[in-house]
């Protein structure tokens, strides 16, 4: 059964727009965070002047708070911008090595794994696109993800458990799913979001440490600063609260900027490429409950074909496997398959360090 139209072209365009907006909005948000930091420090300092308990919101000189925030941006903005730019450029050009180090993936060649390369090559020929590279994670978990930002860096990463436990048509469906992420440019947005969240986390850590060991803003006289020591604990707590609230909001913003609809569309793209919805549904059912890669950070896990961990227990980065299978079944008029006992062998023992076993 041919799958119904799902608007893949529109989705690609939307993702490109999201990427541009994300790139434009991130520097602005960084400066807003800086201004909020200095403004919060000024509020904390002013509150410490009222040691007799007479402090209220109306006592705050909000004009001075605003000016302190702007002064902080103009004084230190160029330094932050330079550091962020250097960080982003390094991550942009070396993200492949970074993700390989974080995930523990190892590159594989066609000679080592000819069957998966043949599957990928046939899929790429059918769409007239260049072939990504393959990498393998030595884990019994069943999962996969794609990474990269250009044709030269696109990579599909599979776990050892996925290769060992799925049948060939199921494995082809997973590979087609990840290839669809590359075709739709989802993977580019995912990589950019991981870089941005990393920058936010880094600066949040630096700011938090500077609040504990650093100096207060010199907007007031030395005499007033000496009288404010009793409110230092309150100020530190308030500033930390503001910084982490902004960081939390930004993390939520990033996660929701990556639409959960991308997984439905990648499933649809897989069925379109393989013409085998039954195999894709079987692959998802086998992956369900077996997706956790031990030691993999959440930022990488959310790039995988399945992420059963819900962020903060509330916000799921992926729709449920049940909903995805039901969607494929409904769109292709195919019944949900019942899994038979797999005759495929289980994951083999740990691989030799730095070496992929021959196929």
DSSP letter at 151 equals T
Model confidence at 322, in pLDDT bands (50, 70, 90)? Answer: very high
Model confidence at 352, in pLDDT bands (50, 70, 90)? Answer: low
Is position 351 within any domain? no
Are 199 and 271 in the same domain?
Answer: no
Is position 132 within any domain? yes
Instruction: Dump pLDDT digits (tens) for 264-320.
Output: 889 999 999 999 999 999 999 999 989 999 888 877 888 899 988 655 545 667 888
Integer Cα distance of 233 and 13 in angstroms:
49
Does residue 136 contact residue 348 with C-beta atoms inside 8 Å? no
Does residue 108 contact residue 356 with C-beta atoms inside 8 Å? yes
Is position 218 within any domain? yes
Are 161 and 38 in the same domain?
Answer: no
Integer Cα distance of 6 and 164 in angstroms:
32
Are 21 and 78 in the same domain?
Answer: yes
Alpha carbon separation from 300 to 22, 95, 123, 155 (Å, rounded): 19, 12, 25, 14
Range of the domain at 129: 104-187+260-332
Instruction: Dump pLDDT digits (tens) for 110-142.
Output: 999 999 999 999 999 998 999 999 999 999 999
Are 264 and 183 in the same domain?
Answer: yes
Distant-in-sequence, close-in-space partners of 13: CB < 8 Å, separation ≥ 6: none
Task: Look up 272 and say whether it is catalytic.
Answer: no
Name the domain count of the chain: 2
Is position 357 within any domain? no
Which of 178, 263, 272, 306 is catalytic? The answer is: 178
Are 166 and 18 in the same domain?
Answer: no
Of 13-17, 114-118, 186-190, 224-228, give the range with the top mean pLDDT. 114-118
The CATH number given to whatever domain includes residue 150 is 3.30.2010.10
Integer Cα distance of 280 and 290 in angstroms:
16
Of 5-19, 279-293, 330-344, give the range with the top mean pLDDT. 279-293
Model confidence at 219, in pLDDT bands (50, 70, 90)? Answer: very low
Integer Cα distance of 334 and 278 in angstroms:
7
Are 147 and 229 in the same domain?
Answer: no
Is position 343 within any domain? no
Go through 161-197 and write b for each residue having 16 or more CB atoms within 10 A of its CB, e for each that does not. bbbebbeeebbbbbbbbbbbbbbbbbbbbbbbbbbbb
Integer Cα distance of 290 and 140 in angstroms:
9
Are 241 and 143 in the same domain?
Answer: no
């Amino acid at each position: 059964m041919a799958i119904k139209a799902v608007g893949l072209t529109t989705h690609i365009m939307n993702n490109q727009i999201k990427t541009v907006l994300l790139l434009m909005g991130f520097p602005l948000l960084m400066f807003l965070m800086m201004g909020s930091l200095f403004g919060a420090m000024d509020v904390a300092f002013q509150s410490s002047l009222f040691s007799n308990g007479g402090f209220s919101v109306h006592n705050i000189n909000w004009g001075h708070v605003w000016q302190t925030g702007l002064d902080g941006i103009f004084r230190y903005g160029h330094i932050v911008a330079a550091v962020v730019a250097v960080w982003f450029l390094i991550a942009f050009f070396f993200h492949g090595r970074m993700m390989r180090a974080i995930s523990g993936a190892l590159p594989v060649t066609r000679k080592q794994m000819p069957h998966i390369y043949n599957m990928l090559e046939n899929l790429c020929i059918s769409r007239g696109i260049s072939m990504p590279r393959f990498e393998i994670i030595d884990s019994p978990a069943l999962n996969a993800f794609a990474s990269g930002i250009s044709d030269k860096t696109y990579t599909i990463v599979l776990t050892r458990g996925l290769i060992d436990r799925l049948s060939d048509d199921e494995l082809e469906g997973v590979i087609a799913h990840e290839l669809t992420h590359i075709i739709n440019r989802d993977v580019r947005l995912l990589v950019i979001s991981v870089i941005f969240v990393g920058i936010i986390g880094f600066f949040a850590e630096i700011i938090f440490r500077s609040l504990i060991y650093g100096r207060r803003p010199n907007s007031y006289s030395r005499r007033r600063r000496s009288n404010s020591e009793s409110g230092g604990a309150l100020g530190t707590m308030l500033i930390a609260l503001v910084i982490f609230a902004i960081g939390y909001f930004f993390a939520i913003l990033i996660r929701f900027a990556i639409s959960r609809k991308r997984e439905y569309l990648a499933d649809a793209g897989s069925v379109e490429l393989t013409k085998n919805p039954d195999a894709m549904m079987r692959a998802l059912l086998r992956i369900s409950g077996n997706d956790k890669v031990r030691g993999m950070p959440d930022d990488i896990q959310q790039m995988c074909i399945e992420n059963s961990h819900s962020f903060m227990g509330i916000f799921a980065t992926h729709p449920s496997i049940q909903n995805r299978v039901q969607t494929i079944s409904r769109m292709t008029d195919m019944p949900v398959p019942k899994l038979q006992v797999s005759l495929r062998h289980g994951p083999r023992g740990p691989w030799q360090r730095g070496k992929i076993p021959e196929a």
